[in-house]
């Protein structure tokens, strides 16, 4: 029962399956790429915070050293004060000690503020790390999704492409050329007649053409409006046949 028009219908069915498989991919790669940008941005934020935290740690560590030095200088000056010869020298040292004390307290205060900042930033960074990990996981999930689909698709596409080749071998070359040309414009190059119309463009068909399509199954008729190949209204794909290909 391999009439020319049935073979074309079967080919169109196989192409429909292939198109669906290719569409399944859809915007997944684009989505994955967008997700990667998000994850990278989240990572940048984490790194930025990390940079500030490092700066503060460096400041605190330096300040700690400076505070020790100031204290040592103060102690030394206090020792010197015992040995001064006159009031002028005594006053000079007193002033210097007062200056050092002010510096010490100024730096201590600054250190306290920075330590508080550090504490806050550590909490903020923990949240940022969590956000980054979530974004990164979503990116990995998307990649895996693509991988899974690709894996299933590869075998299905291979099988369908083989069936396609088989069908092409059964159809006249001139029809294949025309079929492929229609395919560049419409995904569905061969469509059934629906009541009195072409189900591709919905234009009415001449009554005689409908009779011809029904009766001459070895002949190929085209819709005069859209150019698609017309399949008889009762055409149905024989799935068992497709499976056996
Ligand atoms: Zn049409």
Each residue of 70-100: pLDDT tens digit?
999 999 999 999 888 899 999 999 999 999 9
| 144 alpha carbon – ligand 1 mean position (Å) | 41
Give CATH for domain 24-152. Answer: 1.10.287.1700
pLDDT at 39 over 80: yes
Interval 93-120: pLDDT, tens: 999 999 999 999 999 999 999 999 999 9
Residues 6+ apart with CB under 8 A from 214: 232, 233
| 240 alpha carbon – ligand 1 mean position (Å) | 29
Model-level pTM greater than 0.75? Answer: no
Residues 7 and 191: their CA atoms lie apart, in Å, by 13
| 204 alpha carbon – ligand 1 mean position (Å) | 8
Token digits for 92?
């000079």
Split at pLDDT 50, 70, 90, the class of 153 is: confident
Domain regions of the chain by residue span:
24-152, 172-244
In percent, how much of the chain has pLDDT > 90? 86
Residues 173 and 4: their CA atoms lie apart, in Å, by 11
| 117 alpha carbon – ligand 1 mean position (Å) | 72
Residues 8 and 189: their CA atoms lie apart, in Å, by 9
pLDDT at 1 over 80: no
Give the angle subtended at the CA of 205 by the CAs of 171 and 207, to the nearest 5°. Answer: 100
């Amino acid at each position: 029962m391999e009439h020319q028009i049935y073979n074309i219908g079967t080919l169109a069915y196989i192409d429909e399956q292939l198109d669906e498989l290719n569409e399944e991919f859809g915007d997944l790669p684009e989505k994955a790429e967008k997700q990667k940008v998000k994850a990278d941005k989240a990572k940048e934020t984490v790194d930025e915070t990390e940079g500030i935290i490092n700066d503060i740690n460096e400041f605190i560590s330096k300040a700690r050293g400076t505070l020790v030095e100031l204290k040592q200088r103060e102690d030394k000056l206090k020792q010197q004060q015992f040995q001064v010869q006159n009031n002028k020298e005594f006053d000079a040292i007193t002033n210097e000690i007062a200056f050092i004390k002010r510096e010490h307290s100024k730096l201590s205060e600054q250190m306290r503020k920075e330590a508080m900042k550090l504490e806050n930033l550590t909490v903020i960074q923990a949240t940022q790390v969590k956000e980054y990990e979530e974004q990164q996981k979503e990116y990995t999930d998307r990649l895996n999704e693509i991988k899974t689909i690709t894996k299933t698709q590869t075998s299905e596409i291979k099988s369908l492409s083989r069936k396609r080749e088989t069908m092409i071998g059964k159809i006249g070359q001139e029809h294949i050329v025309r079929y492929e040309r229609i395919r560049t414009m419409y995904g569905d190059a061969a469509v059934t007649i629906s009541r009195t119309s072409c189900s591709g463009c919905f234009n009415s068909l001449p009554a005689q053409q409908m009779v011809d399509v029904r009766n001459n199954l070895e002949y190929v008729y085209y819709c005069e409006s859209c150019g698609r190949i017309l399949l008889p209204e009762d055409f149905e794909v024989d799935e068992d046949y497709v499976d056996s290909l």
